[in-house]
Amino acid sequence: MDNTDRSLIDAHCRGDRMAFAELVRRYGGSVLGYLVRMSGSREQADDLFQETFKRVHEKAYMFRGTQFKSWLFTIATRVAIDSLRRRRRLRLVSLSQNVDCADGTCEQLNTVAVTDGSCEPSAEVVMAEQKEQVRRAIEMLPARQRAALVLAYYQQLSYREVAEMLGCSIGAVKTQMSRALRTLAQRLPDISGEVK
Amino acid sequence: MKRHLTERELIEYRFKLASDSRIEKAAEHLSRCGQCRKHLEKLVRRFAALDLLREEITVSDDLVERTVEQASQPVQRRIIPFRKSAWLSAAAAVLVVGLLLLLADNLSEKVTKKPEFAKEPTGIEGEIKFEKDTEITRAERLDKGVPAMKTFAMAPSKEETRVGKALGGAATSGVTGGIIPEQPPFAPASAIELVTLPRRENVQLTIYNSADLTLVRERRNLTLKKGWNWLQFMWANTLIDPTSLTLEPLEQKDKVEIQQLVFPARLRELGRWLIRSEISGQVPFEITYFTSGLAWRAFYMGTLAKDEKTMRLEGYVRVDNGSGEDYENAQTRLLVGTVHILDQIAELAKRQYPYGSPQVIAPGEVSAHYIITDSSFMKYDTLNVSGILSGDLYGGLSRKEIKKEGLSEYFLYTIEGTETIPDKWGKRLLSFEANDIAVKSLYKYDEERWGTETIRFVVFTNDEKHNLGQTPIPNGDVKIYSQADDLGFLSYVGGTSIKYIPVNEEVELNLSPARLVTVKPKLMDFKTENYLFDSKGNVSGWDEVQTWQIEATNTRILPIEVEITRGFETAYWQMKFGEKDISYEKYDVTHARFKLNLSPRSKKTFAYTVRTYYSEREQSLRESMTKETAK
């Protein structure tokens, strides 16, 4: 951790709102990216983002370490995993986008909307579908496997850093990663265009 | 390694998950096994799909703002170090003191009580009672309205102590023959002899959200004795601004005089008022101060009718107390508007000693900064607007009323009756409810603002025509639901944060991107023409001509209106259409706006050609427009 992070935390503990805002801006992008991939939903990630920084705000005075980023991601991981557990208990179904689909005709209609025109399904549509498949594949991973994958692959952290954040050994992280990747190997779409 | 590598081994090799020796062996095998290399390449291609989600995710300013706002409450620290030896010492000390007290009690039963104690005035009864209540629980104290942290205490002077009237609290410092000595006592007696005063008679809170500032005005009946009296005020573990403390007698003002407020050395978080009284007896006082840590926020729930033409809107106010002090039976007032203050109260409260004086505010600035200290505060016009309140967090009390008053640039909401808001508690109250608010569902597409997504809006006006308009609507979060079926189940449509909405102002609630309504612009043709050249043969002007096709699709079962905004990055543009029934309005100098009405489950396509002029060609456009205007 550089001195600026430490000084910002100290300033925040003294009640300096600007310091906290600076911390949010500095690490907001990476934390939000992490939470989007963990939750699979931008809306939910926004909520988790706020919850993460709320906990940072509340626990700032307890921060004694030297790696603020690690500490921040540890909190974000806990928030995300807690949220995933809650979601497992209570299956949330977003009704906002499917209000008019109660009769089940929407999917059909959307299909028509795509193919009804003179143009062929564009690469953009195919890519969107592939992205959705990747998102679903990651979403089906158990929480800790997902956290290990997102931190190591997308956040490009070392296995040692991931272990610190998840509070486990490097070996455990590698095991989680290995399991996650083996599962994904079966579920990820082949974007090269080959038929599986 | 003779056998082929398994998928697991390949993955562990690719992502360096195995031990160094196993990775080395796998590498060696791969160098001579084509089949395994192919398998690995296939896996690598498969995992390349993960990179599809590697797009840059940015945090919107709005999200940062909301996150910071959420953390605007001061950090509460509660660190209780546990030291075994210290605790054991404390326990031993308590035992010793207890034994001594028992002994003293036994002895005192055999001794005749001194007549001075029996002669205490009746007004002191409450004080003595409170001393006995020191063991009562927090909840009991709340019921009785006894302050939890901040305490008041009256101290007799040293002279008073010597004549044995310590419990009286209101000391007469050397009053001989009814004459009060001119010189006040240097200091009160030891704090051990202080007597706590009766509880608050009433308390009023005015919460200024924007500045994390609350004015507390509380009334207490102090029992004074003729002479000099000391009143002790403590604010340990609270967020009170000690520089803002004021004390004022509400009656007998000509006979009771507040002489000074002192902050004794080496004593933290307490101040003592020296009061000169020419009378003995009970006098009501008003104590005012500022504190931080109290906050309120408004939030709203809107329910759209099935046809989405009307909406029911319910407004709530939630008051949170993180000030470190319990406020029981407090009249609560909430102020909308921005207040400018010189210091952050939380910072002031954290000072070790309250150096500086209440006069830090320049005389000319008093009204601008601490406007509410003015006793004329209540003289502002009342708008006679009321809403119905219901519910409270733990009391199940009757429905209450929130009165709203306009205070020039501020707006004041007063919660009817009183509320008890203990420290660390929050309380939610219904502020208003309005039915059948006519709303318009509107979809907007503007690439410069929202990218390629179509955003859904609900539009209404805060006026009487829309069953609103009685008061401004404070900023807060709005969640919109719609009726999903005839059984009354709701589905979540979207949520947003609104800013302060004055009366008669239209509001557009941004309900996030819509998937069932799409707008897809396509560039069909592009060319440049009408080149101009200067005397040296360099290009000095040209036109760009673009033909766009816009396809708008509505897959909803309701008719909708879509607003499409297109920007041209220049003020010099002209537009033409293939079809005649399409028109646009010039939104601003560089933007055009189209409005489309789409019937349920339909698609509409139109095309336009825009010509943009550059450099010297801009001049030619200006000239042609001038000619047209002249005609």
Query: What distance in Å separates the CA atoms of residue A162 and residue A74, rounded to the nearest whole number?
Result: 9
Tell me the backbone φ, ψ of residue B238, rounded to 5 degrees. -120, 175
Mark whether B560 and B611 lie in a shared domain.
Answer: yes
On whether the CB atoms of residues B459 and B353 are closer than 8 A, the answer is no
Average pLDDT of every residue of chain B: 75
Query: What distance in Å separates the CA atoms of residue A97 and residue A99, rounded to the nearest whole number?
Result: 6
Does residue B293 come out as left (phi exceeding 0), alpha (psi in the -120 to 50 range) or beta?
Answer: left
What does the DSSP assignment read for B63-88? HHHHHHHHTTSPPP-------HHHHH
Element (H, E) at A4: helix A3-13
B378, B408, B424 - which closes a domain:
B424
Mark whether B276 and B129 lie in a shared domain.
Answer: yes
Q: Beta B200-208 vs B327-336: how paired, if at all?
A: parallel
Per residue in B289-314, pLDDT (tens digit) is: 999 999 988 999 999 988 889 999 99
Chain A contact set for B494 (CB, 8 A): 96
- State residue B102's pLDDT score: 76
Chain A contact set for B305 (CB, 8 A): none
- State residue B622's pLDDT score: 86
Global pTM reads: 0.45
Q: Residue A17 above 70 pLDDT?
A: yes
- State residue B300's pLDDT score: 93
Hey, which residues 14-53 in chain A have their CB within 8 Å of chain B?
14-15, 17, 20-21, 24-25, 28-29, 32-33, 36-37, 43, 46, 49-50, 53
Q: For residue A170, what are its two tokens?
A: 């490097």
In a domain, B91, yes or no: no
Residue A175's pLDDT band (cuts 50, 70, 90): very high
- Please choose, from the candidates B398, B404, B393, the residue with its C-alpha nearest in 3D space to the C-alpha of residue B417: B398
- Please choose, from the candidates A169, A179, A177, the residue with its C-alpha nearest in 3D space to the C-alpha of residue A148: A177
Query: What distance in Å separates the CA atoms of residue B253 and residue A42, rounded to the nearest whole number?
Result: 63
Residue of B18 and A122 predicted with greater confidence: B18
Mark whether B257 and B124 lie in a shared domain.
Answer: yes
In a domain, B531, yes or no: yes
Tell me which of B53, B241, B303, B348 to substitute to probe the interface with A (most A C-beta atoms closer than 10 Å): B53
- State residue B442's pLDDT score: 93
- Report helix angle B34-47 to A170-187, nearest 10: 90
Mark whether B25 and B168 lie in a shared domain.
Answer: no
- State residue B329's pLDDT score: 86
Residue B365's pLDDT band (cuts 50, 70, 90): very low
- State residue B135's pLDDT score: 33
- State residue B357's pLDDT score: 39
Q: Residue B45 above 90 pLDDT?
A: no
Inter-chain contact B46–A188, Cβ cutoff 8 Å? yes
In a domain, B176, yes or no: yes
Q: Beta B506-514 vs B454-461: how paired, if at all?
A: antiparallel
B401, B424, B447 - which closes a domain:
B424
Mark whether B261 and B152 lie in a shared domain.
Answer: yes
Residues 6+ positions from B182 with CB-CB distance below 8 Å: none
Q: For residue B42, what are its two tokens?
A: 């296939």
Residue B432's pLDDT band (cuts 50, 70, 90): confident
Mark whether B339 and B387 lie in a shared domain.
Answer: yes
- Please choose, from the candidates A19, A27, A21, A20, the residue with its C-alpha nearest in 3D space to the C-alpha of residue A1: A27
Q: Flag whether residue B49 sits within 8 Å of chain A, measured between CB atoms.
A: yes
Residue of A9 and B551 predicted with greater confidence: B551
User: Which residues span the domain enclosing B10?
Assistant: 1-43
- State residue B178's pLDDT score: 65
Query: How many distinct structural domains can be found in chain B?
Result: 4
Length of chain B (residues):
631
Q: For residue B277, what are its two tokens?
A: 């009284």
Query: What distance in Å separates the CA atoms of residue B459 and residue B507, rounded to the nearest whole number?
Result: 6
Mark whether B167 and B278 lie in a shared domain.
Answer: yes
- State residue B107's pLDDT score: 54
Query: What distance in Å separates the CA atoms of residue B43 and residue B24, rounded to the nearest whole number?
Result: 19
Residue B270's pLDDT band (cuts 50, 70, 90): confident
Chain A contact set for B57 (CB, 8 A): 29, 32-33, 36
Hey, which residues 81-120 in chain A have their CB within 8 Å of chain B?
94-97, 99-100, 102, 106, 109-110, 113, 116-117
Query: What distance in Å separates the CA atoms of residue B291 and residue B206, rounded to the nearest whole number?
Result: 10
- Please choose, from the candidates B270, B293, B287, the residue with its C-alpha nearest in 3D space to the C-alpha of residue B353: B270
Q: Read off the pLDDT of each residue in B98-117 and give the average, rounded to a whole number.
A: 55
Q: Residue B373 above 80 pLDDT?
A: no
Q: Which SS3 state, helix, strand or coil, does residue B586 take? A: strand
Q: Which SS3 state, helix, strand or coil, does residue B352 take? A: coil
Average pLDDT of every residue of chain A: 76
In a domain, B96, yes or no: no
- Per cent of chain B over pLDDT 90 is 25
- State residue B599's pLDDT score: 93
Tell me, what CATH number does B559's domain have? 2.60.40
Residue A44's pLDDT band (cuts 50, 70, 90): confident
- A118-152 b/e with 16+ CB inside 10 Å = b? eeeeeeeeeeeebbebbbebbeebebbbbbbbbbb
Distances (CA, A) of B388 to A161, B53, B314, B432, B624: 55, 49, 11, 6, 62
Distances (CA, A) of B613 to B194, B577, B590, B610, B616: 86, 18, 12, 10, 8
Q: Residue B453 above 80 pLDDT?
A: yes
Instruction: Choose the most confident range, by mean pLDDT, from B99-103, B418-422, B455-459.
Output: B455-459
Distances (CA, A) of B547 to A133, B139, B579: 35, 74, 13
What does the DSSP assignment read for B169-191? -S---S-BTTBPPSSPPSSB--G
- State residue B73's pLDDT score: 57
Mark whether B364 and B268 lie in a shared domain.
Answer: no
Q: Residue A186 above 70 pLDDT?
A: yes
- State residue B134's pLDDT score: 32
Query: What distance in Å separates the CA atoms of residue B194 and residue B168, rounded to the nearest whole number?
Result: 9
In a domain, B537, yes or no: yes
* Beta-bridge partners for B389: none
Residue of B93 and B18 predicted with greater confidence: B18
- State residue B613's pLDDT score: 93
- State residue B551's pLDDT score: 95
Residue B531: other Cβ atoms inside 10 A: 12
Q: Residue A79 above 50 pLDDT?
A: yes
Mark whether B137 and B264 lie in a shared domain.
Answer: yes
* Beta-bridge partners for B301: B314, B479
- State residue B596's pLDDT score: 93
Q: Read off the pLDDT of each residue in A120-143 and give the average, rounded to a whole number.
A: 79
Mark whether B122 and B245 lie in a shared domain.
Answer: yes
Q: Read off the pLDDT of each residue in B470-496 and give the average, rounded to a whole number.
A: 85
Does residue A120 come out as left (phi exceeding 0), alpha (psi in the -120 to 50 range) or beta?
Answer: beta
B362, B393, B424 - which closes a domain:
B424
Q: Read off the pLDDT of each residue in B94-109 and give the average, rounded to a whole number.
A: 70
In a domain, B277, yes or no: yes
Residue of B75 and A8 predicted with greater confidence: A8
Q: Residue A194 above 50 pLDDT?
A: no
Query: What value of ipTM does the predicted structure carry?
Result: 0.75
Mark whether B613 and B551 lie in a shared domain.
Answer: yes
What DSSP designation does B501 have?
A: B
Chain-centroid distance of CA B514 in Å reads 29
Q: Read off the pLDDT of each residue in B269-277 and give the average, rounded to a whole number.
A: 85
Inter-chain contact B491–A17, Cβ cutoff 8 Å? no
Q: Residue B474 above 80 pLDDT?
A: yes
- Please choose, from the candidates B184, B193, B203, the residue with its C-alpha nearest in 3D space to the C-alpha of residue B127: B193
Residue of B456 and B356 predicted with greater confidence: B456
The letter for the amino acid at B514 is A
In a domain, B304, yes or no: no
Inter-chain contact A184–B47, Cβ cutoff 8 Å? yes
Hey, which residues 209-248 in chain B have their CB within 8 Å of chain A?
none
Element (H, E) at B443: strand B440-446
Inter-chain contact A15–B53, Cβ cutoff 8 Å? no
Mark whether B528 and B619 lie in a shared domain.
Answer: yes
Q: Residue B193 above 50 pLDDT?
A: no
Q: Residue A107 above 70 pLDDT?
A: no
Q: Chain B: nearest CA to A52, how far in angstroms?
A: 9
Q: For residue B71, what are its two tokens?
A: 């953390």
Per residue in B130-187, pLDDT (tens digit) is: 233 333 333 344 444 434 334 444 544 333 333 222 223 333 444 555 677 777 776 6
Q: Read off the pLDDT of each residue in B497-517 and give the average, rounded to a whole number.
A: 89
Tell me which of B7, B14, B68, B452 to substitute to probe the interface with A (most A C-beta atoms closer than 10 Å): B68
Per residue in A151-173, pLDDT (tens digit) is: 999 888 889 888 888 888 999 99
In a domain, B379, yes or no: yes
Residue B189's pLDDT band (cuts 50, 70, 90): low
Q: Residue A76 above 80 pLDDT?
A: yes
To which residue do tokens 């004795």 refer? B225
Ordered structural domains, chain A, with CATH: 1-91 (1.10.1740.10), 122-190 (1.10.10.10)
To which residue do tokens 């006894």 refer? B146
Q: Read off the pLDDT of each residue in B207-233 and give the average, rounded to a whole number.
A: 85
